[in-house]
Amino acid sequence: MKIAVVGATGLVGNEMLKVLEEQGFASSDYEIIVAASAKSVGKEIDFANRKLVVMSVEEAISQKPDYALFSAGASTSKQYAPMFANNGTVVIDNSSAWRKDNDIPLVIPEVNSDAIKATDRIIANPNCSTIQMVLAISQLHLKYKIKRLVISTYQSVTGTGVKAIQQLENEERGVQDEALRVYPHPIHRNLFPHGGDFQADGYTTEEQKLVDETRKILGDQSIAITATVVRVPVMGGHSESVNIEFYNDYLLEDVVETLKNTKGVCVEDDIEHNIYPMPLYAQSKNEVFVGRIRRDYSQPNSLNIWVVADNIRKGAATNAVQIMKHLIER
């Protein structure tokens, strides 16, 4: 079986290779193809104690891989994903290129893998902040039916990419390098309510993704959703404060038990010992961590939870590999 990673030299592409190795794709049963932009062609990437040579995307298409994991940006996906698909490859795309397309499934394997049809050749990976939240609330929605979500996210600089990490590290050292600056403000010892691009209505594209993608994945356009995205100077992952209003009332102990039984979710909620999810400890883990589970007394049938996950792992690379594993097993 041939598996291509497109955008292999980037932050998420590199993590995809790590996840592939961890998930059992390093054996001789699988040929791993790495592709990237022209400036990276010929470079070597370490994978499972061997070197992989980066090829062009066009050459990767000619190799006719069974699967292609894309993490190279929306414009690259729009250009090349159909070429792979027309060549018989199943594309799992991590960009925003296909998420709103009604004919392309937007998938979190633990939640809606049944959305994938046998004829689908392009499958969209949701936005990182959407993945962790929807995985956490999916079973609660089935049990109590969600009426409204109020979301505040505290998003790691890793969600912006390598240059954002470098900007933070430079600022920590007191170095100003305008060439590496990707944010409109300093991020060290700072935070700002700005993720993505601002829209005409004052919301950002990152906030709009939480609205549109949540409804699509859960198959419910009636859920009222509002969101505020905040960029924070951390590395390990994204954190989210999620307020949920249900149509039906609940027992708190049943909510906790439901979360514990949700595949891919790890409950960390022991306030007596100061145990709750934090990005520092979520880093490099594939689970979604949920804590601070408590009733919201200001509104009927309402709940507060705190959700944390490594946005490069479950929010991107891990979810894509899990989609592929589901298809292989199916």
- What is the identity of the amino acid at 315? G
Q: Which of 185, 188, 194, 238 is catalytic?
A: 238
With contact defined as beta carbons under 8 Å apart, do 99 and 209 qualify?
Answer: yes
Rounded Cα distance, 127 and 131, in Å = 6
CA nearest 37: which of 91, 76, 79? 76
Catalytic site residue 273? no
Catalytic site residue 266? no
With contact defined as beta carbons under 8 Å apart, do 133 and 239 qualify?
Answer: no
Q: Which of 128, 194, 266, 273 is catalytic?
A: 128
Rounded Cα distance, 110 and 324, in Å = 13
- The C-alpha angle 137, 140, 146, rounded to 5 degrees, equals 85
Rounded Cα distance, 12 and 294, in Å = 34
Give SS3 for 53.
Answer: strand
What are the residue numbers of the active site?
128, 238
